[in-house]
A and B are shown apart, each in its own frame.
Chain A
């Protein structure tokens, strides 16, 4: 029902989320770092972005900041995922819709993505 972009360099997490979100009826785009994510979004803007924090080439924070700086992307809600506590992330940026600490309950995350996608639709 919506296009959701998943960005994570841990391919297992990306594949797991793709399957579960597909099961929920969403179209899922996958990227392994922020740079790839921005290229994909230029062609097909998603309704929601789920991104990891620590990634090579371009990390989650840089991605969020780049989206904020682009008018077409600035309004897209971002769910930030990290193995680190939120306190260690929130001092870098506050431009995210939700924070989910790894390891997460996958169905809680999918519920969150659904809600944000519905709100966008």
Chain B
């Protein structure tokens, strides 16, 4: 070992502490230390350099463990031990790795020295050793010495272990041990085979080429076959044809890769029925690492598979039920966090996987509901009780929806394994409830409005009844007056004929009396018109034509400063009325309007077709149906409400005494009522008045 020029040449100046005369010096010098906590040897602490120098120069096996990791350095004497460095020691590796097989023997002593306790030693320590590929045991005396290093914690940088093989002891011990082990292993093999046949698990062994070389009794019993038939590949015939391809493929791949194998398939039993089994195997290796084949076990999982199938059906049913209630299904971990894929939740909220994990889902909950939900959820999880809640969710399309949540803990052996929850969309119900609430809130307003309408209808009815009563009274008076006037006029006529024609003065008085009586008769006629007892010359009448025909007469009746406007509905059908009375009613209204506009203005006569029904019919005191509306509107001074109320009563007038009979509007009223229609007044002080006559359109 002293003449190795190559080694000497490669050592750099800073590695001179390693010396020039050892195999290990060369190895340490060649080793790449930069990736270890030690760094390059030139920079090692002086104390370590000294220790290595001592180790490399002694003939006894010496191992140095350095630093916190107890990195391993050793000398040629260790290397010289047959198989020692190949199998157990690795230069620069942590001690517990490099000396894994006997660390339990030396590790505690090394730790004691590192802790600053005294150096120690032990005799006849049995350490595993490999001789010519066979594992043996040898006996050693070990001494453990601290390596002082000021820079290290506790002042101790490492431990030097010096080994002395007690060869003689080992030789006898080794031989005895070997004999004993052979016997033991033979017994063991027999025991194992017996045991393997007895275990309630099917076992099998293959060789390196994948051929089955052994099946235990349980396997044969399970399949009802004997070994000769199924070895080496006949067993494959018992695998269900549908499962054969994938299970064989798995096996061949594992056999080629020398990796573990696992497969589920159906295996035929003696009764010809197939049952599901789980087949799992591990590769076997020889002492030198060569691949030997598989040893595998087969267990019956048919009950589990059937249960799984049932579970799958049950799960499918459950999901269908959830879909049917328009629910969104999700699961949470036992401690109440959303983990893993949640496709339903993701589809509902549009949240990506990373967004809803843990409590990320709460970001999709309405800000006003989020904290309340989290608090209630945490309470339910802590108490392991079903969770029922309601909140609003921002859906994938950014709309808000109301959802009721029901979640239950799934228990196994009294422990929560996960939570399953369903979000059910109740947006429509909540919206309907809100609408109902709003409706209730406005109920009082609507009732008030309804009551106002009723009040108007009642007022209209009262007005109508009042006019009816006045009409009957008027009619009675008119009838009696007519009888009396008949006597007066008849008497005057007889007197006029019998009186001496020469008595001119008497004749003048008679004529005046007759004239007065006949004027009284005219007044009575107008009273009868109000009480709907005027003579009617009914005929199909085109209202627009009547109005067109009146324009000259109306212009003459009106002040020159009043502008007449006609807005006539051209589709107005003819209706049954007395054209002459209609004309006089319009004229009556136009003259009244003119009086309301002493300084001029606009008189607008409008016709239109209006359907009248429901409350409108009651307000107008007419039957429901189609009507012609004739509106005569002025831009005059208007009337206060109390005047409007009495405007149609006979003898009611706002004009000075002697300037009006107060019968004009009452005649218009009688005309409209006698036609089956009505007349109403809309008036506003300073804005003008509009009188509306409604006349029914015949249905046929």
- A residues near B, CB below 8 A? 10, 12-13, 16-17, 19-20, 54, 83-88, 102-107
Measured CB to CB, the closest approach of chain B to A105, in angstroms, equals 7
Do A16 and B485 touch (CB < 8 A)?
A: no
Are A105 and B493 in contact (CB-based, < 8 A)? yes
Contact check, B494 vs A103: say whether CB atoms are below 8 A apart.
no
Do the beta carbons of B486 and A20 come within 8 Å of each other?
no
Picked from A10, A19, A88, A103, the residue with its CB within 8 Å of the CB of B489 is A103
The interface residues of chain A lying within 8 Å CB-to-CB of B491 are: 12, 16
A102-B486 contact given A54-B479, A83-B478, A83-B479, CB 8 Å threshold: yes
Binary interface encoding of chain B residues 448-484 relative to chain A, with 1 for a CB under 8 A from any of its CBs, else 0: 0000000000000000000000000000001100111
A108 to chain B, nearest CB (A): 10
A-B interface contact total, Cβ < 8 Å: 65
Q: Which B residues between 488 and 534 are near A, CB-CB below 8 angstroms? A: 488-491, 493-494, 497, 517-518, 521, 524, 528, 533-534
A-B contact pairs, 21 of them (CB 8 A): A10-B486, A12-B487, A13-B487, A16-B490, A16-B494, A17-B490, A20-B490, A20-B494, A54-B479, A84-B533, A85-B528, A85-B535, A86-B535, A88-B533, A103-B485, A103-B486, A103-B488, A104-B489, A104-B490, A106-B489, A107-B497
| A85 nearest in chain B by CB position | B535
Interface residues of B in 425-446 (CB under 8 A from A): none
B102 within 8 A of A: no
In the complex, whether B536 has a CB less than 8 A from a CB of chain A is yes
Q: Cα distance A103–B497 when bound, in Å?
A: 18
Query: Beyond the given A85-B534, A106-B490, could you list 11 further A-B residue pairs with CB under 8 A, ordered by the A residue number?
Result: A10-B483, A10-B486, A83-B479, A83-B528, A84-B528, A84-B533, A86-B535, A102-B482, A102-B483, A103-B486, A104-B489
Given A16-B494, A85-B535 in contact, is the A104-B486 Cβ separation under 8 Å? Answer: yes
Provide the bound-state CA to CA distance between A19 and B535, in Å.
31
Q: Is A12's CB under 8 angstroms from B484's CB?
A: yes
Q: How far is the CA of A104 from the CA of B485 in the complex (A)?
A: 9
Give the contacting residue for A85; candidates B483, B494, B518, B536; CB below 8 A: B536
For residue B482, which residues in chain A have a CB less than 8 angstroms away from its CB? 83, 102-103
B534 contact set on A, CB distance < 8 A: 85
What chain B residues lie within 8 Å of A86 (beta carbons)?
Answer: 535
A13 and B535 contact, CB distance less than 8 A? no
Q: Is the pair B533, A13 in contact by a Cβ cutoff of 8 Å?
A: no
CA distance A87 to B533 in the complex (A): 9
The majority secondary structure among interface residues of chain B is: helix
A13 and B490 in contact, given A85-B533, A86-B535 (Cβ under 8 angstroms): yes
Task: Please give the distance in Å from A19's CB to the nearest CB on chain B.
Answer: 7
Query: Whole-angstrom distance from the CB of A16 to the nearest CB of chain B?
Result: 5
Q: Which 8 pairs show the lowest CB-CB distances between chains A and B?
A: A83-B482, A12-B487, A85-B535, A106-B490, A103-B486, A10-B483, A102-B486, A103-B485
Docked pose: A102 CA to B493 CA in angstroms: 14
Q: With A and B bound together, what is the CA distance between A12 and B491 in angstroms? A: 9
Q: Which residue of B lies closest to A106 (CB)?
A: B490
Query: Which residues of A lie under 8 Å from residue B479 when comparing CB positions?
Result: 54, 83-84
Residues of B contacting A88 with CB < 8 Å?
Answer: 533
Q: How far is it, in angstroms, between the C-alpha of A17 and the C-alpha of B483 when the chains are bound? A: 13
A19 close to B494 (CB less than 8 A) = yes
Residues of B within 8 A of A103 (CB): 482, 485-486, 488-490, 517-518, 521
- Cα A111 to Cα B489 in complex, Å, equals 17
Identify which of A83, A86, A87, A102 gathers the most chain B CB atoms within 10 Å of its CB: A83
CB distance from A52 to the nearest CB of B (A): 8
A84 partner residues in chain B, CB cutoff 8 A:
479, 528, 533
Hey, which chain B residues are within 8 Å of A85, CB to CB?
A: 528, 533-536
A120 to B536, CA, bound (A): 33
Residues of B within 8 A of A102 (CB): 482-483, 485-486
B473 CB, nearest partner CB in chain A, Å: 15
- Cβ A10 vs Cβ B528 within 8 A: no
Please measure, in the bound complex, the distance between the C-alpha atom of A102 and the C-alpha atom of B482, giving whole angstroms: 6
Contacts of A54 in B (CB 8 A): 479
**Bound form: Cα–Cα A3–B663 in Å:** 44
In the complex formed, the residue of B with least CB distance to A104 is: B486
Shortest beta-carbon distance, A96 to chain B, in Å? Answer: 17
In the complex, A19→B495 CA distance in Å?
A: 12
Q: State which of B487, B521, B524, B533 has its C-beta within 8 Å of the C-beta of A16.
A: B487
- A10 to B517 alpha-carbon distance, docked (Å): 17
Q: Of the candidates A10, A83, A87, A105, which one forms a contact with B487 in the assembled complex, judged by CB atoms under 8 Å apart?
A: A10
Interface centre among B485, B490, B493, B521 (most CB of A within 10 A): B490
Q: In whole angstroms, what is the CA distance A54 to B486 when docked?
A: 14
Residue picked from B478, B486, B491, most chain A C-beta under 10 Å:
B486
- A87 vs B529: C-alpha distance in the bound complex, in angstroms? 13
- The residue in chain A whose Cβ has the minimal distance to the Cβ of B521 is A103
Chain B residue with Cβ nearest A8: B483
Contact B486 A87 (CB under 8 A): no
A113 to chain B, nearest CB (A): 13
A19 to B533, CA, bound (A): 31
The answer on a CB contact under 8 Å between B483 and A13 is: yes
Give complex CA distance A102, B486 in Å. 6
Taking a contact as CB atoms under 8 Å apart, the answer to whether A83 and B494 are in contact is no
Q: Which of A54, A87, A106 has the most CB of B within 10 A?
A: A106
- Residues from chain A with a CB closer than 8 A to the CB of B488 are 103
CB distance from B399 to the nearest CB of A (A): 70
Greatest chain B CB density within 10 A among A84, A102, A104, A106 is at: A102
* Residue contact A106 to B485, C-beta cutoff 8 Å: no
Question: A12 to B488, alpha carbons, bound, how many Å?
Answer: 9
Min Cβ gap B131→A in Å is 147
Give Cα distance in the complex from A20 to B496, angstroms. Answer: 13
Q: How far is the CA of A19 from the CA of B479 in the complex (A)?
A: 24
Chain A residues near B483 (CB-CB < 8 A) = 10, 12-13, 83, 102
Chain B residues with CB under 8 Å of A19's CB are 494
Q: How far is the CA of A13 from the CA of B488 in the complex (A)?
A: 9
Give A12 to B487 CA distance when docked, in angstroms.
Answer: 6
Tell me, in angstroms, the Cα distance from A106 to B488 when the chains sit together: 11
Tell me the smallest distance from the CB of B486 to a CB of chain A, in Å.
Answer: 4
Taken together as a complex, chains A and B put the C-alpha atoms of A13 and B528 apart, in Å, by 21
Residue of A16, A87, A106 near B536 (CB, 8 A) is A87
Which of B483, B488, B491, B528 has most A Cβ within 10 Å? B483
CB neighbours (8 Å) of B478 from chain A are 83
Query: Which single residue of chain A is at the shortest CB-CB distance from B498?
Result: A23
The verdict on A87 contacting B535 (CB below 8 Å), with A16-B494, A54-B479, A103-B521 known, is yes
Assess the A13–B486 pair: CB atoms within 8 A.
Answer: yes
